[in-house]
């Protein structure tokens, strides 16, 4: 059934892109309610994980995975044991008049991190701008080690949704300040421009260590802040250094020292930006990076069977579809340069992975992972 859903969805998107079919929404065709009574999710699993690796491939939908499948050779997502589909809409507007089906990374990041719908632009606050507790904060409470890895600035919307609380995602300097005073144990990525020397000094004064090279030796008894670029990190096809996989290895080598398990969110941030740019080359490079990351993480999970690996996206970007071009080449088409409301896949392996073998709302991912952490 799961493969039929994915196939059916792919056929629909293909038809949309080929024929330009635009479906008009009736006003009474509302987004399902916050209670998600029409969504199905499996019963409580027999095993629950000790540790969780949560990969978010920003902006990655069926079209991006199809492009990866036909252009990169090896297709690492096929190694996952379970697959489902995810609806990503925000809670933004009154559906009796107007409402939004298309999310941004703040609203979707909050849905994934805290299991709660909110408005576009929000970072781990509800629709009334009240902070909501995230799974990373639940993990801290359970004495697990925690980490954030991103190829954007580390204060960008998706990573921020796990460890900060602001009413608008562009407040990256405030997000950096909150990180320093949070319990996150390791943070790796780009965005040094949001971290003045005084803030880094404060981090170091609070049992932290700052690095600018991934080869740096660290004290595993101190927190780690690694910033490897002034702004976002380089594109994957422009020889990003360190790579996403290298940062993941560094983070896991640090986090696995926890007796109580760990939680880490790893974001392959820039697939989304390839969609915004309508650049197939950009997307292919980021998907190759994601493929390498998946292979490494699943190899790690096989050696550490108490670890759950979950891969999903906050939303799709670009309305990507794949067609035959001339001389055997691929013809990549885009319907927009922004996010879409298209469903995104979820992939999972490890203890508790079977609950994601379903169609679900993105908040259900957050709520289930929080339950795993709490139990």
What pLDDT, in 10s, does the model give residues 279-315? 999 999 999 999 999 999 999 999 999 999 999 999 9
pLDDT at site 91? 85
Is the pTM value of this prediction over 0.85? Answer: yes
**In this structure, is residue 349 part of a structural domain?**
no
Mean pLDDT, rounded, for 364-368 = 96
- Is 12 within a domain? no
- Give me the percent of the chain exceeding a pLDDT of 90: 83
Secondary structure E strands in the chain: 51-57, 82-87, 93-94, 98-99, 145-153, 186-190, 208-211, 223-227, 262-268, 307-312, 316-317, 321-324, 330-333, 339-340, 344-349, 359-361
Among residues 306, 298, 239, the alpha carbon closest in space to that of 77 is found at 298
Count the domains in the chain.
1
Q: What is the pLDDT of residue 72?
A: 86
Alpha carbon distance 257, 243 (integer Å): 23
Q: Which residues contact 315 (CB under 8 A, 6 or more apart)?
A: 58, 59, 61, 88, 102, 103, 104, 105, 108, 272, 339, 340, 341, 344
Q: Which residue has the higher pLDDT, 294 or 39?
A: 294
- For residue 27, tell me if it sits in a domain: no
Q: Residue 9: which pLDDT band, with cuts at 50, 70 and 90?
A: very low
The residue range of the domain holding 123 is: 45-337+362-374
- Kindly tell me if the per-residue pLDDT of 145 is higher than 80: yes
Name the pLDDT band for 3 (thresholds 50, 70, 90). very low
Give the pLDDT score at 20. 38
Residue 6 has pLDDT above 70, yes or no: no
Instruction: Let me know if 105 is a catalytic residue.
Output: yes
* Cβ-defined contacts of 15-23 (< 8 Å, 24+): 16/319, 16/321, 16/335, 17/319, 17/321, 17/323, 17/333, 17/335, 18/321, 18/323
Checking if the pLDDT of 224 tops 60, the result is yes
- Whether residue 24 is contained in a domain is answered as no
**If you ran DSSP here, which 8-state letter would residue 169 be given?**
T
Tokens 């024929």, located at residue: 19
Question: Is residue 106 in a domain?
Answer: yes
CATH number for the domain harbouring residue 230: 3.40.720.10
User: Which of 25-34, 73-82, 127-136, 265-274 is the least confident region?
Assistant: 25-34
- Choosing from 51, 68, 105, 229, which is the catalytic residue? 105
- Residue 215 in domain: yes
Distance between terminal CA atoms of the chain?
A: 30
- Residue 205 to residue 63: CA distance in whole angstroms: 46
Query: Rounded to an integer, what distance in angstroms lies between the CA atom of residue 177 and that of residue 5?
Result: 43
- Phi/psi zone of residue 60: left (φ > 0), alpha (ψ -120 to 50 degrees), beta? beta
Structural domain contains residue 30: no
Residue 202 in domain:
yes
**Mean of per-residue pLDDT scores for the chain:** 90
User: What pLDDT sits at residue 95?
Assistant: 53
**Residue 303 burial (10 A CB sphere; 0-12, 13-18, 19+):** exposed
């Amino acid at each position: 059934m799961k493969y039929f859903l994915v196939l059916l969805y792919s056929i629909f998107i293909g038809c949309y892109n080929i024929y330009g079919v635009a479906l008009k929404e009736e006003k009474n065709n509302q987004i399902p309610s916050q209670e998600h009574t029409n969504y199905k999710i499996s019963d409580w699993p027999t095993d629950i994980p000790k540790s969780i690796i949560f990969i978010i491939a920003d902006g990655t939908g069926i079209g991006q995975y199809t492009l990866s499948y036909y252009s990169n050779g090896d297709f690492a997502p096929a190694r996952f044991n379970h697959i489902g589909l995810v609806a990503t809409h925000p809670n933004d507007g009154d559906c009796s008049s107007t409402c939004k089906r298309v999310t941004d990374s703040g609203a979707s990041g909050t849905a994934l991190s805290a299991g709660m719908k909110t408005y576009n632009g929000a970072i781990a606050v509800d629709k009334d701008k009240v902070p909501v507790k995230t799974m990373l904060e639940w993990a801290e409470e359970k004495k697990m080690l925690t980490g954030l890895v991103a190829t954007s600035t580390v204060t960008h919307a998706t990573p921020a949704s796990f460890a900060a609380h602001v009413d608008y995602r562009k407040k990256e300097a405030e997000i950096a300040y909150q990180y320093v005073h949070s319990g996150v144990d390791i943070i790796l990525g780009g965005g040094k421009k949001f971290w003045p020397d005084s803030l880094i000094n404060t981090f170091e004064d609070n049992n932290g260590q700052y690095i600018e090279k991934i080869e740096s030796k660290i004290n595993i008894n101190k927190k780690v802040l690694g910033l490897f670029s002034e702004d976002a990190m380089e594109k994957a096809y422009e020889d990003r250094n360190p790579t996403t996989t290298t940062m993941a290895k560094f983070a896991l080598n640090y986090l696995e020292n926890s007796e109580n398990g760990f939680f880490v969110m790893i974001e392959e941030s820039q697939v989304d930006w390839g969609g915004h740019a309508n650049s197939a080359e950009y997307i292919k490079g980021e998907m190759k990076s994601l493929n390498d990351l998946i292979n490494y993480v699943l190899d790690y999970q096989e050696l550490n069977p108490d670890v759950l690996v979950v891969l999903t996206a906050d939303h799709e970007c670009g309305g990507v579809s794949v067609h035959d071009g001339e001389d055997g080449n691929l013809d990549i088409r885009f319907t927009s340069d922004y996010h879409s409301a298209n469903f995104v896949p979820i992939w999972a392996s490890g203890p508790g992975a079977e609950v994601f073998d379903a169609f679900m709302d993105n908040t259900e991912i957050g709520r289930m992972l929080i339950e795993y952490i709490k139990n």
